Structure 1
Amino acid sequence: MKESTIYIYYRCTANNVRIFIRNMGEQIPVEDIDKIWSKLYKADKSRSRDKGGAGLV
C-alpha cells in the first residue's frame, strides 16, 4: 500500500465553520466524486479488507 498524507484544517467565522481537506495521495476518479458521501463506498472494486484501506463512516 502506498503511503500518503491527508491534511484537514478549518476556518471559523462569526456564522460558520468551513472545513478543508487536502489529499496528497492518489486522486479519486472523477466518476466517483459524487459518491464520496455514501457510507463505505469503494471506488476500487478490486480492493478487499485483507488488502487494507479505509472508508468514511
Structure 2
Amino acid sequence: MIPISWYLIFAAALFCIGLFGVLARRNAIAILMGIELMLNAVNVNLIAFWRYATP
C-alpha cells in the first residue's frame, strides 16, 4: 500500500503548479486551468484522507 505522505506530496505539488499557473498567467483559460489543478489537488487530499481513515 502506498503511504499517505506520497499522496500529500503529490497533492501539494499539484496545488503549487496550479497556484503558479493562476499567478503567472494573464489568459483567462490558463487561469481557469490553474484553478482546476488546485481543485484536483484538494480532491486528491480528500480521497487520500478518506481512504486512510476508513479501515
Shorter-normalised TM-score: what interval? under 0.3
Look at both structures and tell me which one has the larger radius of gyration over its CA atoms: 1
Larger relative helix fraction: 2
Given the two structures, how large is their TM-score scaled by the length of structure 1? Answer: 0.25
**Using CA pairs below 8 Å that are at least 6 residues apart, which structure has the higher relative contact order?**
2
Given the two structures, how large is their TM-score scaled by the length of structure 2? Answer: 0.25
Larger relative strand fraction: 1
